[in-house]
A and B are shown apart, each in its own frame.
Chain A
Amino acid sequence: MRRARILTGTGLALALAFCGTGAWTYTQARTDDALVRGRERDEALADGREGIAVLTTLDATTRQSAERSIRNWRDVSTGPLREELGDTEAEAGSSARGTVTEAALTALDTRSGTAKLIATVRVEVTPAGTAGTAGTKKPATDRKRLEAVLARTGEGEWKVRALSAVPVAEEKGGE
């Protein structure tokens, strides 16, 4: 009788310990630095990709659509870039559609919420007026390489803080 009770107690204690270990392991995995960083990296990359695609796209077939494009720009950008884009005047003209063909993060600081991203973008430029009339000018395709600085906003979303082309270095003497 007594033996049985001790055994039962031990069994329960072991089960409890096992459950505790499981819970602890789970908490560790949930809060693991590398895992958290990995999730942030993937979020930053996905948001950055989308941001760059939006920022290289302008539908200027009509004034209204251009305004919409500029509103989209403001939605995916933050800081100085956002202000700069806000001043853009919407007018009908040539349109552009950007597609990110490849992107990678080059830096990630999860604590301050900043990241750097490089991307190759294919931009199709359609000259003004080709949509309605039988266009004589064909859309031109341009490949760009861009670098963006991303910042994490309060809602945990990554937005583009700065966007610039990676220039071809001017010839350095001797090299």
Chain B
Amino acid sequence: MTPTWLLRRNAAPEPGTADETAEPQAEVEAAEPEAEVAESEAEAAEPEIEPESGPEAAAARPPNGRLRKAALAGAAAVLVLGGCGFLYGAHQLRSQAPARNQALTDAGATTRVAGDVGNALARVFSYTPDGTGAAERSARTVLDGRAARQYETLFARVRDDLTDQRVTLSTRAVRTGVIELDGDRARLLVFLDQTSHRGKGTGEDEAGATTAAAQLTVTARLEDDRWRIVDIKAR
């Protein structure tokens, strides 16, 4: 899913190539892939085995070649095992949840999703009495899934009141924090300021302007290179 993860995946087949080249060396090695599967987490055990095989190899030299061969094969097996252990450990480190979450670690993507979502909310929740259509049009492009349905029901309920009472609402995202960013999904916490005017006046300054605070947790999805809001929860 994530590009870095894919990269790791492609790098993983390395053990295979190493095994193939090692194969013609001795038949003992054939048993090695099984051991590898059984103990792929055994990276910690590796330092214990290694010193053991050293003296063994030295002691094996005088009697005959067979023991020596076995010792060498053992050493190779330990090394390959160790390598597998390290690779496995590296893979673990990179695939854990904190590593997959790119919030603030990928600065560009974080800024982008925060900006997109902030703008989308500002557009969707800003309207003039005669221009609710614009807000609803933006809603269709930036909202999806549950968020779109929530928005529609809300708007259906208040649309008539809006035009009757001449309500103008302007919304601004004052703080946006990305909680989670995993490839094409993101969760954000957004603080909004919503200023509403009520009255018949069109251009003049209204005395009856009130500003209210709103806090939302927003789930967004990246579709066609654009962030769309799929869920909104008030906090």
Contacts and interface: CB of A to CB of B under 8 A. Distances in A.
B62 interface: no
B215 A15 contact: no
A101 interface: yes
A101 B84 CA distance: 42
Given A11-B22, A29-B90, A22 B177 contact: no
Given A25-B86, A26-B86, A29-B94, A7 B79 contact: no
Contact of A166 (B87, B102, B174): B174
A172 B86 CA distance: 58
Interface in B84-99: 84-87, 89-90, 93-94, 98-99
A105 B177 contact: yes
B47 to A, nearest CB: 12
A8 interface: yes
Interface residues of A, number: 50
Interface residues of B, number: 57
The 6 A-B pairs of least Cβ separation, nearest first, read A104-B177, A22-B86, A22-B83, A15-B79, A11-B25, A29-B90
Interface of B: 4, 11, 14-15, 18, 21-22, 24-26, 29, 69, 72, 75-77, 79-80, 82-87, 89-90, 93-94, 98-99, 101-106, 170, 172, 174-179, 188-189, 191, 193, 195, 205, 209, 211-213, 215, 217, 235
15 contacts: A11-B21, A11-B26, A15-B22, A15-B79, A19-B79, A19-B80, A22-B84, A22-B85, A25-B86, A101-B235, A102-B215, A102-B235, A103-B179, A105-B104, A119-B189
